[in-house]
Amino acid sequence: MTLTNNIRDIETSAQLALKHCDEKNYPQAHLDLDVVEAKVRSVRTHIDHLQNVTDFCVRPAGEGTG
């Protein structure tokens, strides 16, 4: 899943959590928040990976070759 899709899913789940809290459906709100947490971890991992790839690619030639 793309970074953009994951962030959209976070937004949707956060909106659902608010809706369920307004409806006093707290068990469902907790489940919505679980989805938010899982998606945030996924996005963070994806961004970390992109940063590591970018950091590796911008090194000058020959750097890090013992």
Rounded-to-integer distance, Cα 46 and Cα 66, Å: 29
- Rounded mean pLDDT of 31-41? 96
- Place 47 in a pLDDT band, splitting at 50, 70 and 90: very high
The pLDDT of residue 57 is 73
Question: What is the percent of the chain with per-residue pLDDT over 70, rounded to a whole number?
Answer: 82
CB burial string 18-51: b at 16+ within 10 A, e below? eebeeeeeeeebeebbebbeebeebbeeeeeeee
For residue 47, the Cα-to-chain-centroid distance in whole angstroms is: 8
Does 66 score more than 80 pLDDT?
no
- Place 2 in a pLDDT band, splitting at 50, 70 and 90: confident
The pLDDT of residue 58 is 65
